[in-house]
Chain A
Amino acid sequence: ELKVEQNPLFLSMQEGKNYTIYCNYSTTSDRLYWYRQDPGKSLESLFVLLSNGAVKQEGRLMASLDTKARLSTLHITAAVHDLSATYFCAVVRYNFNKFYFGSGTKLNVKP
């Protein structure tokens, strides 16, 4: 069974600061996803990472993947209040179609 661990689970930060969320997974994976979830809402896809060394950036968020270390990071640059949400990573093995989600990181950016 593939296990996905995120840390930290809770993150409170000031606007303008930088921080990184970590996602570790237990066995080989072909794809890694990052999602955002606002309270009471569904999951919004942020990034799909497909290969070792993949890096994707959108606005203040940058995601990277190290398949050898089985680690993905979501880096937040100069955080703003609008980024407050819960962020999930999810891992899937090719042709298995089951997404294995981490527990989520609840981010609160204080103005």
Chain B
Amino acid sequence: GAGVSQTPSNKVTEKGKYVELRCDPISGHTALYWYRQSLGQGPEFLIYFQGTGAADDSGLPNDRFFAVRPEGSVSTLKIQRTERGDSAVYLCASSFSGTGYWDEQYFGPGTRLTVT
């Protein structure tokens, strides 16, 4: 079956520009997560959606970062006024419920963002 997909796979943008990163979760998964992975580091949690609502956005670094999931499926991570420090791989993951003890997160291939 189809896994988590993310587009674009690579994005190069200039400092100060706006970018949108898209995530298509596994069909039927109600929970969706965004992570940021800097070079040589483990993924860092950004935000978690349960359905359409952001259940936990404590990992968003500042107000330039925003994410939406209007219909409870596809999610978009939006970054305003990009900075060079935003360069990283942005990973999306989904899970069946987000609340089950056995719940497991399935990761997408990531979007590599480079801010020049």
Binding site for B on A (CB under 8 A): 4, 30-31, 33, 41-43, 45, 48, 50, 88, 90, 94-104
Residue with the greatest number of chain A CB neighbours at <10 A, chosen from B43, B56, B58: B43
0/1 string, B27-49, CB within 8 A of A gives 1? 00001010100001111110010
Main secondary structure, interface of A, reads loop
Distance in angstroms between the alpha carbons of A103 and B106 in the assembled complex: 19
A6 and chain B: residue at smallest CB distance: B42
Distance in angstroms between the alpha carbons of A33 and B93 in the assembled complex: 14
| Interface size of B in residues (CB-CB distance below 8 Å) | 25
Judge whether B91 and A43 touch: CB under 8 Å.
yes
Residue with the greatest number of chain B CB neighbours at <10 A, chosen from A4, A42, A96, A101: A42
Distance in angstroms between the alpha carbons of A103 and B33 in the assembled complex: 19
For residue B110, CB closer than 8 A to chain A, the reply is yes
Known: A97-B31, A97-B98. A104 touches B107 (CB 8 A): no
Distance in angstroms between the alpha carbons of A102 and B41 in the assembled complex: 8
For residue B104, CB closer than 8 A to chain A, the reply is yes
Distance in angstroms between the alpha carbons of A102 and B15 in the assembled complex: 29
Known: A42-B109, A43-B107. A98 touches B42 (CB 8 A): no
Judge whether B109 and A98 touch: CB under 8 Å.
no
Q: In angstroms, how far is the closest chain B Cβ from the Cβ of A95?
A: 7
27 CB contacts below 8 A, A to B, read A30-B101, A33-B104, A42-B91, A42-B107, A42-B110, A43-B91, A43-B107, A48-B104, A88-B42, A88-B43, A90-B42, A90-B43, A95-B99, A96-B56, A97-B48, A97-B98, A98-B48, A98-B56, A99-B43, A99-B45, A99-B105, A102-B42, A103-B41, A103-B42, A104-B40, A104-B41, A104-B42
- B43 CB contact (under 8 Å) in A31, A48, A94, A101: A101
